[in-house]
Structure 1
Protein backbone atom coordinates (compact mmCIF):
# COMPACT_ATOMS: atom_id res chain seq x y z
CA UNK A 1 0.00 0.00 0.00
CA UNK A 2 1.34 3.44 -0.91
CA UNK A 3 1.26 6.40 1.46
CA UNK A 4 -1.44 7.93 -0.68
CA UNK A 5 -3.55 4.79 -0.44
CA UNK A 6 -3.17 4.87 3.34
CA UNK A 7 -4.45 8.46 3.39
CA UNK A 8 -7.36 7.58 1.12
CA UNK A 9 -8.20 4.64 3.39
CA UNK A 10 -8.26 6.90 6.46
CA UNK A 11 -10.60 9.37 4.79
CA UNK A 12 -12.90 6.60 3.58
CA UNK A 13 -13.07 4.96 7.03
CA UNK A 14 -13.33 8.19 9.06
CA UNK A 15 -12.14 6.30 12.15
CA UNK A 16 -13.28 7.23 15.66
CA UNK A 17 -10.13 7.96 17.67
CA UNK A 18 -10.40 8.15 21.45
CA UNK A 19 -7.79 10.48 22.93
CA UNK A 20 -6.80 10.64 26.58
CA UNK A 21 -4.54 13.62 26.14
CA UNK A 22 -3.34 16.68 28.01
CA UNK A 23 -5.21 19.92 28.59
CA UNK A 24 -2.95 21.91 26.27
CA UNK A 25 -3.42 19.57 23.31
CA UNK A 26 -7.14 18.82 23.31
CA UNK A 27 -8.44 21.45 20.90
CA UNK A 28 -5.46 21.28 18.56
CA UNK A 29 -5.62 17.50 18.45
CA UNK A 30 -9.35 17.52 17.71
CA UNK A 31 -8.92 20.05 14.91
CA UNK A 32 -6.00 18.15 13.38
CA UNK A 33 -7.93 14.87 13.35
CA UNK A 34 -10.96 16.51 11.81
CA UNK A 35 -8.83 18.15 9.12
CA UNK A 36 -7.25 14.80 8.27
CA UNK A 37 -10.63 13.12 7.93
CA UNK A 38 -10.92 11.26 11.24
CA UNK A 39 -13.43 11.62 14.06
CA UNK A 40 -11.91 12.68 17.42
CA UNK A 41 -13.30 11.94 20.88
CA UNK A 42 -11.74 13.42 24.02
CA UNK A 43 -12.94 10.88 26.57
CA UNK A 44 -10.74 10.71 29.64
CA UNK A 45 -13.00 10.34 32.70
CA UNK A 46 -12.12 7.29 34.75
CA UNK A 47 -15.81 6.39 34.93
CA UNK A 48 -16.25 6.03 31.15
CA UNK A 49 -12.85 5.77 29.44
CA UNK A 50 -12.77 1.99 29.36
CA UNK A 51 -16.38 1.70 28.20
CA UNK A 52 -15.74 4.17 25.37
CA UNK A 53 -12.65 2.20 24.32
CA UNK A 54 -15.10 -0.56 23.47
CA UNK A 55 -16.60 1.72 20.81
CA UNK A 56 -13.54 3.47 19.39
CA UNK A 57 -11.46 2.38 16.40
CA UNK A 58 -8.18 3.51 18.01
CA UNK A 59 -6.89 4.89 21.31
CA UNK A 60 -4.19 7.45 22.11
CA UNK A 61 -2.56 8.01 25.49
CA UNK A 62 -0.70 11.25 26.21
CA UNK A 63 0.98 11.79 29.59
CA UNK A 64 1.56 15.53 29.24
CA UNK A 65 -0.55 16.51 32.28
CA UNK A 66 -0.78 13.28 34.31
CA UNK A 67 -2.76 12.82 37.49
CA UNK A 68 -3.90 9.61 39.21
CA UNK A 69 -7.47 9.38 37.88
CA UNK A 70 -6.34 10.03 34.31
CA UNK A 71 -3.56 7.47 34.61
CA UNK A 72 -6.06 4.90 35.88
CA UNK A 73 -8.37 5.77 32.98
CA UNK A 74 -5.49 5.26 30.53
CA UNK A 75 -4.70 1.83 31.97
CA UNK A 76 -8.33 0.72 31.92
CA UNK A 77 -8.95 1.99 28.39
CA UNK A 78 -5.69 0.44 27.19
CA UNK A 79 -6.75 -2.94 28.53
CA UNK A 80 -10.04 -2.81 26.63
CA UNK A 81 -8.40 -1.55 23.43
CA UNK A 82 -5.67 -4.17 23.64
CA UNK A 83 -8.25 -6.90 24.13
CA UNK A 84 -10.08 -5.72 21.01
CA UNK A 85 -6.90 -5.52 18.95
CA UNK A 86 -7.37 -1.88 17.97
CA UNK A 87 -4.34 0.43 17.64
CA UNK A 88 -3.04 2.01 20.85
CA UNK A 89 -0.54 4.89 20.54
CA UNK A 90 1.44 6.20 23.51
CA UNK A 91 2.98 9.69 23.61
CA UNK A 92 5.34 9.61 26.65
CA UNK A 93 5.54 13.38 27.14
CA UNK A 94 8.62 14.46 29.13
CA UNK A 95 9.07 10.85 30.25
CA UNK A 96 12.41 11.59 31.89
CA UNK A 97 11.44 14.81 33.67
CA UNK A 98 10.29 13.19 36.92
CA UNK A 99 10.22 9.72 38.45
CA UNK A 100 6.40 9.84 38.37
CA UNK A 101 6.30 10.38 34.61
CA UNK A 102 8.98 7.79 33.96
CA UNK A 103 7.14 5.15 35.99
CA UNK A 104 3.76 5.91 34.39
CA UNK A 105 5.12 5.71 30.87
CA UNK A 106 7.17 2.58 31.45
CA UNK A 107 4.13 0.85 32.94
CA UNK A 108 1.91 1.84 30.00
CA UNK A 109 4.55 0.73 27.50
CA UNK A 110 4.66 -2.70 29.13
CA UNK A 111 0.89 -2.97 29.39
CA UNK A 112 -0.06 -3.13 25.70
CA UNK A 113 1.49 -5.73 23.39
CA UNK A 114 2.07 -4.31 19.93
CA UNK A 115 1.89 -0.72 21.19
CA UNK A 116 2.87 2.18 18.93
CA UNK A 117 5.07 4.68 20.76
CA UNK A 118 5.61 8.17 19.33
CA UNK A 119 8.04 10.50 21.07
CA UNK A 120 11.02 12.75 20.67
CA UNK A 121 14.53 11.41 21.11
CA UNK A 122 14.86 12.31 24.78
CA UNK A 123 11.51 10.70 25.61
CA UNK A 124 12.44 7.44 23.89
CA UNK A 125 15.81 7.37 25.65
CA UNK A 126 14.15 7.96 29.02
CA UNK A 127 11.49 5.34 28.34
CA UNK A 128 14.21 2.73 27.90
CA UNK A 129 16.12 3.75 31.01
CA UNK A 130 18.89 5.58 29.18
CA UNK A 131 20.26 9.01 30.09
CA UNK A 132 18.88 11.90 28.07
CA UNK A 133 19.39 15.65 27.77
CA UNK A 134 15.69 16.48 27.90
CA UNK A 135 14.56 20.05 28.52
CA UNK A 136 11.09 19.46 29.94
CA UNK A 137 8.89 18.31 27.06
CA UNK A 138 11.51 19.35 24.49
CA UNK A 139 14.20 17.02 23.27
CA UNK A 140 17.81 17.77 24.07
CA UNK A 141 18.99 14.78 22.05
CA UNK A 142 19.23 14.13 18.33
CA UNK A 143 17.10 11.48 16.68
CA UNK A 144 20.13 9.41 15.71
CA UNK A 145 21.17 9.10 19.36
CA UNK A 146 17.83 7.45 20.16
CA UNK A 147 17.71 5.00 17.25
CA UNK A 148 19.24 2.04 19.15
CA UNK A 149 16.84 2.67 22.04
CA UNK A 150 13.91 2.78 19.63
CA UNK A 151 14.90 -0.55 18.10
CA UNK A 152 15.29 -2.12 21.56
CA UNK A 153 11.90 -0.78 22.70
CA UNK A 154 10.15 -2.02 19.56
CA UNK A 155 11.61 -5.49 20.06
CA UNK A 156 10.67 -5.52 23.75
CA UNK A 157 7.05 -4.52 23.13
CA UNK A 158 6.52 -6.24 19.80
CA UNK A 159 5.29 -2.90 18.51
CA UNK A 160 6.34 0.21 16.63
CA UNK A 161 8.46 3.13 17.80
CA UNK A 162 8.56 6.51 16.06
CA UNK A 163 11.19 9.06 17.03
CA UNK A 164 10.32 12.55 15.84
CA UNK A 165 12.80 15.29 14.98
CA UNK A 166 14.45 16.97 12.03
CA UNK A 167 14.49 13.54 10.36
CA UNK A 168 11.88 11.19 11.79
CA UNK A 169 12.81 7.57 12.50
CA UNK A 170 10.36 4.66 12.65
CA UNK A 171 11.13 1.03 13.47
CA UNK A 172 9.42 -2.25 14.32
CA UNK A 173 12.70 -3.74 15.51
CA UNK A 174 13.40 -5.36 12.15
CA UNK A 175 12.59 -2.67 9.60
CA UNK A 176 13.37 1.02 9.82
CA UNK A 177 12.46 4.17 7.92
CA UNK A 178 13.55 7.78 7.91
CA UNK A 179 11.21 10.59 6.86
CA UNK A 180 13.05 13.67 5.59
CA UNK A 181 10.07 15.97 5.13
CA UNK A 182 8.90 18.63 7.58
CA UNK A 183 9.33 22.25 8.55
CA UNK A 184 10.86 24.10 11.53
CA UNK A 185 7.59 26.05 11.75
CA UNK A 186 5.95 22.90 13.12
CA UNK A 187 7.90 23.32 16.36
CA UNK A 188 6.60 26.87 16.87
CA UNK A 189 2.95 25.92 17.45
CA UNK A 190 2.17 24.20 20.72
CA UNK A 191 0.58 20.73 20.72
CA UNK A 192 1.27 19.85 17.08
CA UNK A 193 3.56 17.07 18.29
CA UNK A 194 0.85 15.77 20.60
CA UNK A 195 -1.69 15.94 17.78
CA UNK A 196 0.51 13.76 15.59
CA UNK A 197 -0.24 10.90 17.98
CA UNK A 198 -3.87 10.97 16.86
CA UNK A 199 -2.86 10.97 13.20
CA UNK A 200 -0.70 7.89 13.75
CA UNK A 201 -3.63 6.14 15.44
CA UNK A 202 -6.04 7.09 12.64
CA UNK A 203 -3.66 5.82 9.94
CA UNK A 204 -3.20 2.52 11.78
CA UNK A 205 -6.92 1.69 11.87
CA UNK A 206 -7.69 -1.33 9.71
CA UNK A 207 -4.08 -1.73 8.55
CA UNK A 208 -2.32 -5.07 8.90
CA UNK A 209 1.11 -3.44 8.62
CA UNK A 210 1.20 -0.82 11.38
CA UNK A 211 4.86 -0.07 10.68
CA UNK A 212 3.99 1.14 7.20
CA UNK A 213 0.91 2.93 8.52
CA UNK A 214 3.03 4.81 11.07
CA UNK A 215 5.54 5.83 8.40
CA UNK A 216 2.67 7.00 6.18
CA UNK A 217 1.21 9.06 9.04
CA UNK A 218 4.50 10.82 9.76
CA UNK A 219 5.12 11.46 6.07
CA UNK A 220 1.63 12.92 5.64
CA UNK A 221 2.05 15.21 8.64
CA UNK A 222 5.49 16.38 7.53
CA UNK A 223 4.40 17.02 3.94
CA UNK A 224 1.47 19.07 5.21
CA UNK A 225 3.95 21.09 7.28
CA UNK A 226 6.03 21.85 4.22
CA UNK A 227 3.00 22.88 2.17
CA UNK A 228 1.71 25.14 4.95
CA UNK A 229 5.09 26.80 5.44
CA UNK A 230 5.28 27.71 1.75
CA UNK A 231 2.09 29.76 2.15
CA UNK A 232 2.15 30.83 5.81
CA UNK A 233 5.62 30.72 7.40
CA UNK A 234 4.86 32.71 10.58
CA UNK A 235 3.54 30.82 13.65
CA UNK A 236 0.07 32.34 13.88
CA UNK A 237 -0.86 31.97 10.24
CA UNK A 238 1.00 28.66 10.04
CA UNK A 239 -1.33 27.11 12.63
CA UNK A 240 -4.30 27.83 10.35
CA UNK A 241 -2.39 26.99 7.19
CA UNK A 242 -1.36 23.64 8.61
CA UNK A 243 -4.96 22.60 9.22
CA UNK A 244 -5.78 23.66 5.67
CA UNK A 245 -2.87 21.65 4.31
CA UNK A 246 -3.91 18.54 6.24
CA UNK A 247 -7.32 18.82 4.64
CA UNK A 248 -6.11 19.75 1.16
CA UNK A 249 -3.19 17.40 0.54
CA UNK A 250 -4.21 14.64 -1.85
CA UNK A 251 -3.06 11.03 -1.94
CA UNK A 252 -1.27 11.75 -5.22
CA UNK A 253 0.55 14.73 -3.70
CA UNK A 254 1.57 12.68 -0.69
CA UNK A 255 3.11 9.97 -2.85
CA UNK A 256 4.92 12.55 -4.97
CA UNK A 257 6.31 14.65 -2.11
CA UNK A 258 7.12 12.11 0.61
CA UNK A 259 10.87 11.69 1.12
CA UNK A 260 11.17 8.34 2.86
CA UNK A 261 14.04 5.87 3.04
CA UNK A 262 13.36 2.26 4.05
CA UNK A 263 15.96 -0.18 5.32
CA UNK A 264 16.41 -3.19 7.59
CA UNK A 265 17.82 -2.81 11.08
CA UNK A 266 21.49 -3.85 11.00
CA UNK A 267 22.24 -7.10 12.81
Structure 2
Protein backbone atom coordinates (compact mmCIF):
# COMPACT_ATOMS: atom_id res chain seq x y z
CA UNK A 1 0.00 0.00 0.00
CA UNK A 2 2.85 2.38 0.83
CA UNK A 3 4.36 1.92 -2.62
CA UNK A 4 0.99 2.50 -4.28
CA UNK A 5 0.58 5.80 -2.43
CA UNK A 6 4.16 6.73 -3.31
CA UNK A 7 3.59 6.07 -7.03
CA UNK A 8 0.30 7.99 -6.89
CA UNK A 9 2.04 10.96 -5.24
CA UNK A 10 4.90 10.96 -7.75
CA UNK A 11 2.37 10.77 -10.59
CA UNK A 12 0.64 13.86 -9.18
CA UNK A 13 3.93 15.71 -9.61
CA UNK A 14 4.51 14.06 -13.00
CA UNK A 15 1.04 15.05 -14.18
CA UNK A 16 1.60 18.64 -13.13
CA UNK A 17 4.86 18.77 -15.08
CA UNK A 18 3.25 17.11 -18.12
CA UNK A 19 0.29 19.49 -18.02
CA UNK A 20 2.49 22.56 -17.70
CA UNK A 21 4.81 21.52 -20.54
CA UNK A 22 1.85 20.62 -22.75
CA UNK A 23 0.37 24.07 -22.22
CA UNK A 24 3.73 25.80 -22.60
CA UNK A 25 5.20 23.95 -25.57
CA UNK A 26 2.19 22.20 -27.10
CA UNK A 27 3.76 18.75 -26.68
CA UNK A 28 2.01 15.48 -25.96
CA UNK A 29 2.43 13.96 -22.54
CA UNK A 30 3.18 10.41 -23.68
CA UNK A 31 6.81 11.15 -24.46
CA UNK A 32 7.29 12.07 -20.78
CA UNK A 33 4.81 9.76 -19.07
CA UNK A 34 5.91 6.46 -20.60
CA UNK A 35 9.62 6.65 -19.57
CA UNK A 36 8.61 7.80 -16.07
CA UNK A 37 6.15 4.94 -15.65
CA UNK A 38 8.67 2.38 -16.91
CA UNK A 39 10.83 3.49 -13.99
CA UNK A 40 8.01 3.69 -11.40
CA UNK A 41 5.79 0.70 -12.10
CA UNK A 42 8.17 -2.02 -10.88
CA UNK A 43 7.73 -0.50 -7.40
CA UNK A 44 4.12 -1.73 -7.37
CA UNK A 45 4.82 -5.18 -8.74
CA UNK A 46 4.46 -4.79 -12.52
CA UNK A 47 6.60 -7.55 -14.02
CA UNK A 48 9.22 -6.70 -16.64
CA UNK A 49 7.38 -8.80 -19.23
CA UNK A 50 4.35 -6.44 -19.01
CA UNK A 51 6.10 -3.23 -17.94
CA UNK A 52 6.17 -1.31 -21.22
CA UNK A 53 2.64 -2.39 -22.10
CA UNK A 54 1.24 -1.05 -18.82
CA UNK A 55 3.22 2.20 -19.12
CA UNK A 56 2.00 2.85 -22.66
CA UNK A 57 -1.61 1.88 -21.91
CA UNK A 58 -1.71 4.15 -18.83
CA UNK A 59 -0.22 7.01 -20.81
CA UNK A 60 -2.79 6.56 -23.58
CA UNK A 61 -5.65 6.55 -21.06
CA UNK A 62 -4.39 9.80 -19.51
CA UNK A 63 -4.66 11.53 -22.89
CA UNK A 64 -8.45 11.10 -23.10
CA UNK A 65 -9.50 14.00 -20.85
CA UNK A 66 -6.68 16.37 -21.81
CA UNK A 67 -7.28 15.91 -25.54
CA UNK A 68 -11.04 16.19 -25.02
CA UNK A 69 -10.72 19.61 -23.40
CA UNK A 70 -8.44 20.74 -26.22
CA UNK A 71 -10.84 19.40 -28.86
CA UNK A 72 -13.80 21.27 -27.34
CA UNK A 73 -11.82 24.51 -27.28
CA UNK A 74 -10.74 24.14 -30.92
CA UNK A 75 -14.26 23.28 -32.04
CA UNK A 76 -15.63 26.43 -30.42
CA UNK A 77 -13.13 28.43 -32.49
CA UNK A 78 -14.16 26.67 -35.72
CA UNK A 79 -10.77 25.00 -36.12
CA UNK A 80 -12.02 21.46 -36.78
CA UNK A 81 -12.59 20.51 -40.47
CA UNK A 82 -15.28 17.91 -39.85
CA UNK A 83 -15.48 16.89 -43.53
CA UNK A 84 -12.17 15.00 -43.12
CA UNK A 85 -13.74 12.62 -40.63
CA UNK A 86 -15.61 10.63 -43.27
CA UNK A 87 -12.44 9.19 -44.86
CA UNK A 88 -10.21 9.24 -41.74
CA UNK A 89 -12.44 8.27 -38.80
CA UNK A 90 -12.72 4.55 -39.69
CA UNK A 91 -8.94 4.23 -40.00
CA UNK A 92 -8.37 6.10 -36.74
CA UNK A 93 -10.73 3.87 -34.78
CA UNK A 94 -9.57 0.62 -36.37
CA UNK A 95 -5.87 1.44 -36.06
CA UNK A 96 -6.07 2.62 -32.46
CA UNK A 97 -8.18 -0.34 -31.34
CA UNK A 98 -5.82 -2.75 -33.08
CA UNK A 99 -2.78 -1.22 -31.37
CA UNK A 100 -3.61 -2.82 -28.02
CA UNK A 101 -3.78 -6.29 -29.57
CA UNK A 102 -0.67 -5.71 -31.71
CA UNK A 103 1.20 -4.51 -28.62
CA UNK A 104 0.28 -7.72 -26.81
CA UNK A 105 2.20 -9.70 -29.45
CA UNK A 106 5.40 -7.65 -28.99
CA UNK A 107 7.87 -8.43 -26.20
CA UNK A 108 8.16 -5.70 -23.57
CA UNK A 109 11.87 -5.11 -24.27
CA UNK A 110 11.26 -4.80 -28.01
CA UNK A 111 8.41 -2.37 -27.39
CA UNK A 112 10.67 -0.31 -25.13
CA UNK A 113 13.37 -0.20 -27.83
CA UNK A 114 10.83 0.94 -30.41
CA UNK A 115 9.58 3.64 -28.05
CA UNK A 116 13.16 4.79 -27.36
CA UNK A 117 13.84 5.18 -31.09
CA UNK A 118 10.54 7.04 -31.50
CA UNK A 119 11.45 9.43 -28.65
CA UNK A 120 14.81 10.23 -30.28
CA UNK A 121 13.13 10.90 -33.65
CA UNK A 122 10.52 13.15 -32.03
CA UNK A 123 13.27 15.03 -30.18
CA UNK A 124 15.00 15.72 -33.49
CA UNK A 125 11.69 16.86 -35.01
CA UNK A 126 11.07 19.14 -32.03
CA UNK A 127 14.52 20.73 -32.20
CA UNK A 128 14.54 21.05 -35.99
CA UNK A 129 10.88 21.04 -37.12
CA UNK A 130 10.13 19.48 -40.47
CA UNK A 131 7.67 21.68 -42.35
CA UNK A 132 6.52 20.07 -45.60
CA UNK A 133 5.40 22.25 -48.45
CA UNK A 134 1.64 22.25 -48.74
CA UNK A 135 0.03 20.18 -51.44
CA UNK A 136 -3.26 21.89 -52.24
CA UNK A 137 -4.84 18.71 -53.58
CA UNK A 138 -6.48 16.57 -50.87
CA UNK A 139 -5.44 12.89 -51.16
CA UNK A 140 -7.99 10.32 -52.26
CA UNK A 141 -10.26 8.52 -49.81
CA UNK A 142 -8.18 5.34 -49.74
CA UNK A 143 -4.95 7.28 -49.03
CA UNK A 144 -6.54 9.18 -46.14
CA UNK A 145 -7.92 5.92 -44.74
CA UNK A 146 -4.58 4.11 -44.92
CA UNK A 147 -2.56 7.01 -43.51
CA UNK A 148 -5.00 7.52 -40.63
CA UNK A 149 -4.90 3.79 -39.83
CA UNK A 150 -1.10 3.74 -39.79
CA UNK A 151 -0.84 6.88 -37.64
CA UNK A 152 -3.40 5.50 -35.18
CA UNK A 153 -1.52 2.20 -34.87
CA UNK A 154 1.79 3.99 -34.21
CA UNK A 155 0.14 6.40 -31.75
CA UNK A 156 -1.50 3.52 -29.88
CA UNK A 157 1.72 1.53 -29.74
CA UNK A 158 3.67 4.54 -28.45
CA UNK A 159 1.02 5.79 -25.99
CA UNK A 160 0.56 9.20 -27.63
CA UNK A 161 -2.28 11.12 -29.23
CA UNK A 162 -0.69 11.11 -32.68
CA UNK A 163 -0.54 14.86 -33.25
CA UNK A 164 3.21 14.83 -33.91
CA UNK A 165 2.51 12.62 -36.94
CA UNK A 166 -0.90 13.85 -38.05
CA UNK A 167 -0.30 17.61 -38.01
CA UNK A 168 2.61 17.53 -40.53
CA UNK A 169 0.57 15.24 -42.80
CA UNK A 170 -2.48 17.51 -42.69
CA UNK A 171 -0.44 20.66 -43.36
CA UNK A 172 1.08 18.83 -46.34
CA UNK A 173 -2.49 18.19 -47.51
CA UNK A 174 -3.09 21.94 -47.55
CA UNK A 175 -4.81 22.56 -44.22
CA UNK A 176 -3.97 25.66 -42.26
CA UNK A 177 -2.00 24.98 -39.08
CA UNK A 178 -4.91 25.89 -36.80
CA UNK A 179 -7.17 23.44 -38.67
CA UNK A 180 -4.53 20.70 -38.58
CA UNK A 181 -4.05 21.15 -34.84
CA UNK A 182 -7.80 21.33 -34.23
CA UNK A 183 -8.47 18.17 -36.22
CA UNK A 184 -5.55 16.46 -34.47
CA UNK A 185 -6.95 17.32 -31.05
CA UNK A 186 -10.23 15.57 -31.89
CA UNK A 187 -8.55 12.53 -33.42
CA UNK A 188 -6.15 12.39 -30.45
CA UNK A 189 -9.13 11.98 -28.15
CA UNK A 190 -10.60 9.26 -30.38
CA UNK A 191 -7.25 7.46 -30.66
CA UNK A 192 -6.91 7.57 -26.88
CA UNK A 193 -10.43 6.19 -26.31
CA UNK A 194 -10.19 3.47 -28.94
CA UNK A 195 -6.60 2.55 -28.07
CA UNK A 196 -7.37 2.44 -24.35
CA UNK A 197 -10.28 0.10 -25.07
CA UNK A 198 -7.94 -2.22 -26.98
CA UNK A 199 -5.41 -2.23 -24.13
CA UNK A 200 -8.13 -2.95 -21.57
CA UNK A 201 -9.49 -5.91 -23.54
CA UNK A 202 -6.02 -7.27 -24.32
CA UNK A 203 -4.91 -6.89 -20.70
CA UNK A 204 -7.91 -8.73 -19.31
CA UNK A 205 -6.33 -12.01 -20.47
CA UNK A 206 -3.11 -11.35 -18.51
CA UNK A 207 -3.15 -12.97 -15.07
CA UNK A 208 0.09 -11.70 -13.49
CA UNK A 209 -0.73 -7.99 -13.30
CA UNK A 210 -0.78 -6.38 -9.82
CA UNK A 211 -3.73 -5.02 -7.88
CA UNK A 212 -4.94 -1.68 -9.23
CA UNK A 213 -4.74 -2.56 -12.92
CA UNK A 214 -7.71 -2.52 -15.26
CA UNK A 215 -6.63 -4.41 -18.33
CA UNK A 216 -3.16 -3.00 -18.98
CA UNK A 217 -3.97 0.34 -17.28
CA UNK A 218 -2.56 1.06 -13.81
CA UNK A 219 -5.31 3.13 -12.21
CA UNK A 220 -3.46 4.84 -9.28
CA UNK A 221 -0.87 6.27 -11.67
CA UNK A 222 -3.59 7.29 -14.12
CA UNK A 223 -5.53 9.11 -11.40
CA UNK A 224 -2.48 11.04 -10.22
CA UNK A 225 -1.52 12.13 -13.74
CA UNK A 226 -5.03 13.23 -14.73
CA UNK A 227 -5.80 15.19 -11.56
CA UNK A 228 -2.72 17.42 -11.65
CA UNK A 229 -2.29 17.75 -15.44
CA UNK A 230 -5.82 19.10 -15.86
CA UNK A 231 -5.25 21.65 -13.09
CA UNK A 232 -1.78 22.81 -14.16
CA UNK A 233 -2.14 22.90 -17.97
CA UNK A 234 -3.78 26.39 -17.99
CA UNK A 235 -0.72 27.77 -16.18
CA UNK A 236 1.48 26.48 -19.00
CA UNK A 237 -0.77 28.14 -21.57
CA UNK A 238 -0.49 31.42 -19.68
CA UNK A 239 3.30 31.14 -19.42
CA UNK A 240 3.58 30.51 -23.17
CA UNK A 241 2.82 34.17 -23.87
CA UNK A 242 5.86 35.41 -21.93
CA UNK A 243 8.42 32.58 -21.73
CA UNK A 244 10.98 31.96 -24.55
CA UNK A 245 9.22 28.85 -25.86
CA UNK A 246 11.44 28.23 -28.95
CA UNK A 247 14.53 28.04 -26.72
CA UNK A 248 12.73 25.93 -24.12
CA UNK A 249 11.48 23.55 -26.80
CA UNK A 250 15.04 22.87 -27.94
CA UNK A 251 16.21 22.35 -24.36
CA UNK A 252 13.33 19.94 -23.81
CA UNK A 253 14.19 18.17 -27.08
CA UNK A 254 17.71 17.67 -25.75
CA UNK A 255 16.35 16.11 -22.57
CA UNK A 256 14.10 13.82 -24.62
CA UNK A 257 17.11 12.76 -26.67
CA UNK A 258 18.97 11.77 -23.50
CA UNK A 259 15.92 9.87 -22.19
CA UNK A 260 15.47 8.02 -25.49
CA UNK A 261 19.12 6.98 -25.72
CA UNK A 262 19.20 5.89 -22.07
CA UNK A 263 16.04 3.80 -22.55
CA UNK A 264 17.52 2.11 -25.62
CA UNK A 265 20.76 1.27 -23.82
CA UNK A 266 19.04 0.03 -20.64
CA UNK A 267 17.07 -2.76 -22.35
| TM-score, normalisation: structure 2 | 0.27
| Greater relative CO (CA pairs within 8 A, separation 6+) | 2
| TM-score, normalisation: structure 1 | 0.27
Query: More strand by proportion, 1 or 2?
Result: 1
